[in-house]
Structure 1
Amino acid sequence: MQEPSNVLDVITQLMFMAFLLMAFTGADARLRMYIWAKNIRVKMEEIKGYAEESEKETLEVLKKLNVKNADEIVRRIKEFFHISPVDIEPTDITKRMAHIIRTGQERWERLLSSSLPEDVPRAHKHNAMVMLEITNSLNTIYKIVRHYLLTSLKTNNFFLMMQLWMLMPMISKMSKTLRDALDTFKNCRPVGDGAGPLVAFRLLINKKRLWRPAKDTVAGEVDIEGRRVIVIKAEGPGATVGSPGEAVQRVVEELRGKVDLILTVDAALKLEGEETGQIAEGSGAAIGDPGPEKIAIERAATKYGIPLEAIVIKMSAEEAITDMPEKVAKAVDLVVQKVIERVKELPKGATAIVAGIGNTCGVAQ
Structure 2
Amino acid sequence: MSGSNPSDILSIITQLMFMAFLLMAFTGADQRFRMYIWARNIKSKMDEIKEMSDKSKKDTIDFLKKIGVKRAEEIVNELTEFFTINPVDIEPTDITKRMAHIFRTSLLEWERKLEEGAVEEIPKHVKHNALVLIEIANSLNVIYKVIRHYLLYALKNNNLFLIMQLWMIMPQIVKMSKTLDKARETFKHCRPIGDSVGPLVAYKLLERKKRLWHPAKDTVAGEVEIEGRKVIVVKAEGPGATVGNPGEAIKKVIEGMRGQVDLIITVDAALKLEGEESGSIAEGAGAAIGDPGPEKIAIERVATRYNIPLQAIVIKMSNEEAITDMTKKIAMAADEAVKRVIDKVKSLPEKSVVLVAGIGNTCGVAQ
Structure 1 CA distance for aligned equivalents of residues 328 and 16 of structure 2: 60
- Could you say which residue in structure 2 is the equivalent of 1:181? 183
1:148 aligns with 2:150: yes
Amino acid at match of 1:327: K
- The aligned runs of 1:4-43 (5 Å cut-off) are 4-43=6-45
Q: Give 1:95's aligned residue.
A: 97
Of 199, 221, 224 in structure 1, the residue corresponding to residue 223 of structure 2 is 221
DSSP 3-state at the match of 1:309: strand
Instruction: Report what 2:294 is aligned to.
Output: 292
1:83 matched to which residue of 2?
85
Work out whether 1:355 is the aligned partner of 2:357. yes
Q: Secondary structure at the match of 1:114?
A: helix
Query: Which residue in 2 is equivalent to 1:235?
Result: 237
Q: Which residue of 1 aligns with 2:202?
A: 200
1:23-69 CA-to-partner distances (Å, cap 9, x unmatched) read 12111111111111100011101100111110111111111111111
Aligned length: 365
TM-score when scaled to structure 1? 0.98
Please report how far the alpha carbon of residue 16 of structure 1 lies from its aligned counterpart in structure 2 after TM superposition: 2.0
Rounded Cα–Cα distance in structure 2 between residues aligned with 1:10 and 1:296: 76
Once residues 62 and 265 of structure 2 are traced to their aligned partners in structure 1, the CA distance between those partners, rounded to angstroms, is 40
Distance 2:149 2:137 in 1: 18
Q: Distance in 1 between matches of 2:4 and 2:29?
A: 32
1:293 Cα offset (Å):
0.8
Q: CA deviation at 1:12?
A: 2.3
Between the aligned partners of 1:35 and 1:277, the Cα distance in structure 2 is 41
Letter in structure 2 aligned against 1:173: K
Match for residue 269 of structure 1 among 268, 271, 288: 271
Q: Find the aligned partners of 2:231 and 2:4 in 1 and give their Cα distance.
A: 92
Structure 1 residue 148: Cα displacement: 0.5
Partner of 1:316: 318
Q: Percent identity?
A: 68
Offset from partner CA, 1:306-365 (integer Å, 9 cap, x none): 111111111110111010011100111111101000111111111111100111010000
**Paired AA for residue 364 in structure 2:** G
CA distance in 2, matches of 1:119, 1:164: 45
1-structure distance, mates of 2:351, 2:344: 14
The whole-number CA distance in structure 2 between the counterparts of 1:6 and 1:65 is 78
CA shift for structure 1 position 273 = 0.9
Q: 2:143 corresponds to which letter in structure 1?
A: I
**Which amino acid in 1 is paired with 2:70?**
K
Q: Residue type of the partner of 2:279?
A: G
Q: How many angstroms does 1:18 deviate by? A: 1.8
How many Å separate the matches in 1 of 2:119 and 2:285? 45
C-alpha distance in 2, partners of 1:252/1:4?
90
CA distance in 2, matches of 1:158, 1:5: 38
RMSD after superposition: 1.0
TM-score normalised over the length of structure 2? 0.98
Distance 2:79 2:354 in 1: 40
- The equivalent residue for 2:109 is 107
Q: Which one of the candidate residues 161, 164, 178 is aligned to 1:162?
A: 164
* CA shift for structure 1 position 91: 1.0
CA distance in 2, matches of 1:249, 1:44: 45
CA distance in 2, matches of 1:38, 1:92: 47
Task: Give the aligned partner of residue 141 of structure 2.
Answer: 139
CA contact (8 A) 2:88 2:95 kept: yes
What corresponds to 1:343 in structure 2? 345
Shift of 1:119: 4.2
Deviation string 1:239-284 (CA, Å, 9 cap, x unpaired) is 0000011111111111111111111101111111111111111111
Shift of 1:4: 2.9
Distance 1:48 1:363 in 2: 32
Query: What is the aligned partner in structure 2 of residue 253 from structure 1?
Result: 255
**Distance in 2 between the 1:193 and 1:24 partners?**
54
Distance 1:247 1:10 in 2: 80
Equivalent residue letter for 1:256: R
Cα distance, 1:291 vs. partner? Answer: 1.0
CA distance in structure 2 between the aligned counterparts of 1:247 and 1:20, rounded to whole angstroms: 69
Separation (CA, whole Å) in 2 of partners of 1:4 and 1:290:
70
Offset of 1:139 from its aligned partner?
0.6
- Aligned partner of 1:328 in structure 2 is 330
1:304 matches 2:306: yes
- Partners of 2:23 and 2:100 lie apart in 1 by 58
